[in-house]
Amino acid sequence: MSKGSVPMEVQKILNEYDLSKLSVATAGSHSALQILHGAKKEGLRTVLIVKKDRLDFYRTFSHFIDEFIIIENWSEILEKDVKDNLIALNSIIIPHGSFVEYVGSKNLQKYEVPIFGSRKILEWEATQEKKMELLRRAGIRVPKEFKSPEEVDRLVIVKLGGAKGGRGYFLASTPEEVKEGLEKLGNPSNYIIQEYVIGVPAYYHVFNSKVYNRIEITGMDIRYESNVDGLRRLPPKYASKVSPTFTVVGNIPMVLRESLLITVYNYAKSFVEVTKEVVGEEIVGPFCLESIITENGEIVVFEFSGRIVAGTNVYIDGSPYSYLYWDEPMSVGRRIAREIRKARDKGMLEEILR
């Protein structure tokens, strides 16, 4: 058990694990239900770190949640007690978007509990500039970027860093509008100004499997954003008085033209390759490419997520695409658990944990 690049301290902990009693653990939010439900179906034990005020809800799912680690505040995830508890339960953490937000991508780098997937990619994801660099280096089409408000000469979207679910994004079309918008948000420093590409949004869920040695397209979705997706229901005379906002509140399923699916596959493959070279750690398991498709059928990727995205909740009972690989309802949560189970059985856990 030593060939992989699992951090030394994590490797030590993993060496002590009873692999026949592995648990999958995550925090109670984002895609936790899917992750634990899937783990249970694959015969693993399940652990939920949950805030007290959410316990009532999650208890209605105790048929697939074995252990609750109850906390008052998310910051307690970083405390020794919680970590010891997780380790005692032979836990593997599945870091979803909220988990990363609660713990912080920096703290996550040295978190002692074994984590499924790549830790490093989550640091790249946290910075808008590094994020876009990675996509560019993978040869993936990205929107034009503007270094400063002054350069803005077309419709742009201004985005703050971190996984805040689209809160604080805004549209602008002149340097003045950009500056005004930033001021309203208290002049943050971690932001990017991206060309607003005209087309339709589409989010592709991909899974890089070490066990099956292939890249799977597990599904795709359209984010449902408030208030922008509601404004379209207003007559122009009313809609023109409201500024669009982009808080993600849910997700809608979609499928893609099969010819475009091939583009997505090629993008995903390049992306995996580039993580090896540039991040120095291959992305493993689920990730997401987030795009606009133009009227010419070009796919312009404006962001990625280096872990499971909430859009996969659309497919807790399986997706049209996952069915092509599995012929049974395979959520991404369950897919992760299957990868863990198979990797354990083949003695290759080091290749998928960090």
Give 338's DSSP letter.
H
* Alpha-carbon distances of 353 from 41, 53, 260, 283, rounded to whole Å: 20, 31, 32, 11
State yes or no: 29 annotated in a binding site. no
State yes or no: 23 annotated in a binding site. no
Q: Encoding tokens for residue 159?
A: 């985005």
Q: Is residue 155 a contact point for a second copy (CB under 8 A)?
A: yes
Nearer to a second copy, 126 or 228 (CB): 228
Nearer to a second copy, 78 or 222 (CB): 222
Q: Is residue 54 a contact point for a second copy (CB under 8 A)?
A: yes
Q: Is residue 72 a contact point for a second copy (CB under 8 A)?
A: no
State yes or no: 225 annotated in a binding site. yes
Q: Is residue 224 a contact point for a second copy (CB under 8 A)?
A: yes
Q: Is residue 329 a contact point for a second copy (CB under 8 A)?
A: yes
Q: Mark the segment that binds a second copy (CB under 8 A) among 87-95, 133-141, 209-217, 340-348.
A: 209-217
What H or E segment, with its residue span, contains residue 214?
Answer: strand 214-227
Considering only residues 242 to 281 of the shown chain, the ones binding a second copy according to CB under 8 A are 242-245, 247-262, 265-266
- Give CB contacts under 8 A, 24+ apart, made by 149-155: 149/175, 149/178, 149/179, 149/182, 149/193, 150/175, 151/175, 151/193, 152/177, 152/178, 152/193, 154/195, 154/196, 155/195, 155/196, 155/198
From residue 14 to residue 43, the character string flagging contacts with a second copy as x (rule: CB under 8 A) and all else as - is ---------------xxxxxx--x---x--
Q: Encoding tokens for residue 133?
A: 């660099």
CB of 206 to a second copy, least distance (A): 12
| Known binding positions for ATP | 225
Binding-site residue positions: 30, 98, 225, 251
